[in-house]
Chains A and B, each alone.
Chain A
Amino acid sequence: MTHPENAAEFLKDAQKSKWHDETLWFVRDKRDKVSKGIPEWEQLRELASGIKDNVLANLADYLEEFERNATKNGIIVHWAADSEEHNRLVLEILQQQNCTAVVKSKSILTEECHLNPYLEKHGVEVVDTDLGERIVQFLNQPPSHIVLPAIHLKKGEISELFHEKLHTEKGNEDPAYLTQAARVHLREKFFAAKVAITGVNFGIAETGEFVVCTNEGNADMGVHLADVHIACMGIEKILPRRKDLGVFLRLLARSATGQPITNYNSHFRSPSPGKEIHLILVDNGRTAQLAREKFRNSLKCIRCGACMNTCPIYRRSGGFSYNSTVPGPIGSILSPGLDLKKHSSLPFASTLCGSCTDVCPVKINIHEQLYEWRQEVTKTQGEFAKGLSMKLANGIFKSPLAYKISGSLMRNALKSLPNSLIYHPLNVWGKNRNLPDAPKESFQQWYRKNRS
């Protein structure tokens, strides 16, 4: 299904889609307020963008430095060229530990690699421990937003779900009550797990440490109770120096949810005595994106979600309409690089208003890249319907007589044709757009009457 088809589905529930729109705008507004309290905000964005430029220009060197230092610290570093290799490496570590149940904190990368279904197929129970992620996991859904995974659901739906899965009181929709039920359920899982999986927000080349940020504390609950910690990291998450974290931690949570910082920012440098930390560095299309000069700096993304919260299309079409692990504006420039055919409608899911670019903490020119991807899509796929009408138009404009006749035909046709013929499925531009009333006469006729 294309983005417009999925969006139409989302908009059927008018009340819920309005709530979605307004709620995300509220988050965007919080971001504005908190960022205005930082006089150097624009300088920080400039710095973050510059640091990431430097990272991307020297990525191989930084990766080697990171690996060297992490290994020195006692972290076991693995490399995965693609999602299959990543998933296989995770499974091998679990099998070495005889582990059949694992707790996992939020990691967009493991979503991208479809790790959960892979592990489940091999007999491993995966428990997503971020509350929003646990909710969508119960529903067999992917997250609809990278920071707010269950933003597409109302508390009534979650109450019903928890009644079924966690035996909460029927009809009790109190978020505090439901969260408490999830707390009891998840803490039981944390205390039983032998292996915990997390994502990585930042990996520091200089020290070989990596940083994981959460508000719930779920990543830490998992890894500090387990014997083995598996951290999954995209190769673009590198920062050169520890002090660069000062810039990025000031930007990340403020851009994401309008808070000054996430409540837990954990720096993992070496395992606790007797425990293991495995870190998997994953490419999965990132080096290919690095090779595309026009799209290279999409790899600066720190997954804050600000571009989604501000996007007039995302807010009104919901995360699922993108059918992509990372939805929204940033997903629409990352996903075509992974599979252009599957994601060909995404670069068009934008008004090109540029609001995404304005809020991006690392200054990715998202709307310009959306425009560039449109060129790539039309180059490779062409547009059958448009191609045909252009040929027709070419014939008409070449002959003055054909032009005169067709003009008068069209003026009459627009008046008398039934709407079903004008607003037909081939004419996507006719959707939700009304044609202007056709003039009674052509310009030539008007000129002859009034000016000759």
Chain B
Amino acid sequence: MSSREKILSAIRSLTLEPKALPDIPNFSNSGDLVERFTLSISGNKGEVLSKSEFEEWFSSSGFSKVISLSAQFSELATLPLPEDPHALETLEVAILDGQFGVAENGAIWLEDTQLGLRALPFATEHLVIVLDRNRLEDTMHQGYDKIAVAHSGFGLFLAGPSKTADIEQSLVIGAQGAKSLRVVLI
């Protein structure tokens, strides 16, 4: 008997009392979505910027290795999207469009179509996500309603920069992945 059969038949040999799958109510919170989203992102050690704030930061930083897949900021790109993700090793900035954000925790949903390469938001030194301020959801429940069962090979709820507190619980931003997250609300 294969291990598959062994495991499944071991489970099926048990008399297990039936338990109904509960329905999930449509929980919602009060308060302004933009305000709550902004607060959540800063709690996760990211930053929410307006278009002009972002442009000011970007032009004063002098980055030379930039990939932009955002329609709004395509002119900022200095590099095309490579075929091999290993070419991202020295990338300074990636600018991507987010599908929607979740106010309760700052999580932003991205799929293969927004990412280009799945490694992009992780390997880049700085990450910028452009998000429509009318596309904010209340909680994760509304977030998953919105995604429903839409098919993408990879999907990501991204809520902040790479961070760790593994050394004496001291929070350090920029562990292995992106050292910063800027969300441009337009």
Point out the residue from B21, B117, B140, B178 that lies within 8 Å of A245, measured CB to CB. Answer: B140
Complex-state Cα separation, A40 to B30, whole angstroms: 13
Choose the segment among B8-16, B49-57, B65-73, B74-82 that binds chain A (4+ C-beta atoms closer than 8 Å). B8-16
Q: Is the CB of B167 within 8 A of A178?
A: yes
Q: Is A355 an interface residue (CB 8 A)?
A: no
Q: Is the CB of B167 within 8 A of A224?
A: no
Complex-state Cα separation, A264 to B163, whole angstroms: 10
Q: Is B62 an interface residue (CB 8 A)?
A: no
Given contacts A63-B8, A79-B7, A178-B167, contact A267 B154 (CB under 8 A): yes
Residue of B nearest to A59 (CB): B11
Residues of A within 8 A of B19 (CB): 50, 53-54, 56-57
Choose the segment among A108-116, A212-220, A329-337, A368-376 that binds chain B (4+ C-beta atoms closer than 8 Å). A212-220
Q: Which residues of chain A from 84 to 117 have any CB-CB distance to chain B below 8 Å in the complex?
A: 85
Interface string of B18-45 (1 = CB under 8 A from A): 1111101101010000000000100110
Q: Is the CB of A290 within 8 A of B158?
A: no
Q: Is the CB of A57 within 8 A of B176?
A: no
Point out the residue from A51, A153, A215 that lies within 8 Å of B175, measured CB to CB. Answer: A215
Q: Is the CB of A261 within 8 A of B107?
A: yes
Residues of B within 8 A of A261 (CB): 44, 105-107, 140, 157, 159
Given contacts A263-B160, A287-B7, contact A148 B169 (CB under 8 A): yes
Residue of B nearest to A81 (CB): B3
Q: Which residues of chain B from 130 to 186 have any CB-CB distance to chain A below 8 Å in the complex?
A: 139-141, 143-145, 147-149, 151-170, 172, 174-178
Q: Is the CB of B172 within 8 A of A217?
A: no
Q: Is the CB of B175 within 8 A of A217?
A: yes
Residues of A within 8 A of B12 (CB): 60
Residues of A within 8 A of B153 (CB): 73, 269-272
Q: Is the CB of B154 within 8 A of A175?
A: no
Residues of A within 8 A of B6 (CB): 81, 283
Query: Whole-angstrom distance from the CB of B169 to the nearest CB of chain A?
Result: 6
Complex-state Cα separation, A44 to B141, whole angstroms: 11
Q: Is the CB of B177 within 8 A of A224?
A: no
Complex-state Cα separation, A217 to B19, whole angstroms: 36
Complex-state Cα separation, A245 to B140, whole angstroms: 8
Point out the residue from A73, A186, A220, A271 that lies within 8 Å of B119, measured CB to CB. Answer: A220
Q: Is the CB of B169 within 8 A of A23?
A: yes
Given contacts A85-B3, A216-B175, A225-B86, contact A269 B152 (CB under 8 A): yes
Given contacts A80-B3, A221-B177, contact A60 B157 (CB under 8 A): no
Q: Is the CB of B177 within 8 A of A217?
A: yes
Residues of A within 8 A of B149 (CB): 206-207, 242
Point out the residue from B14, B18, B85, B143 that lies within 8 Å of A225, measured CB to CB. Answer: B85
Q: Which residues of chain A from 114 to 160 have any CB-CB distance to chain B below 8 Å in the complex?
A: 129-132, 135, 148-151, 153-155, 158
Complex-state Cα separation, A362 to B178, whole angstroms: 32
Residues of B within 8 A of A271 (CB): 153
Point out the residue from B7, B44, B152, B156 that lies within 8 Å of A235, measured CB to CB. Answer: B7
Q: Is the CB of A175 within 8 A of B168?
A: yes
Q: Is the CB of A224 within 8 A of B118?
A: yes
Q: Is the CB of B169 within 8 A of A291?
A: no
Given contacts A221-B176, A260-B43, contact A272 B140 (CB under 8 A): no
Q: Is A352 an interface residue (CB 8 A)?
A: no
Complex-state Cα separation, A85 to B20, whole angstroms: 34
Question: Can you show 12 pairs from A to B with CB atoms below 8 A apart?
Answer: A80-B3, A81-B7, A179-B164, A180-B174, A215-B164, A246-B144, A260-B44, A260-B106, A265-B157, A268-B154, A272-B118, A291-B14
Instruction: Please give me the 7 A-B residue pairs with the lowest Cβ-Cβ distance, nearest first.
Output: A217-B177, A132-B166, A224-B119, A260-B105, A216-B175, A267-B155, A175-B170
B: which residues have CB within 8 A of A? 2-4, 6-8, 10-12, 14, 16-22, 24-25, 27, 29, 40, 43-44, 85-86, 89, 104-107, 117-119, 122-123, 139-141, 143-145, 147-149, 151-170, 172, 174-178
Known: A224-B119, A264-B159. 14 other contacts (CB 8 A): A50-B20, A135-B167, A187-B89, A191-B86, A220-B119, A220-B177, A242-B148, A250-B104, A259-B44, A260-B104, A267-B152, A290-B11, A290-B14, A291-B14
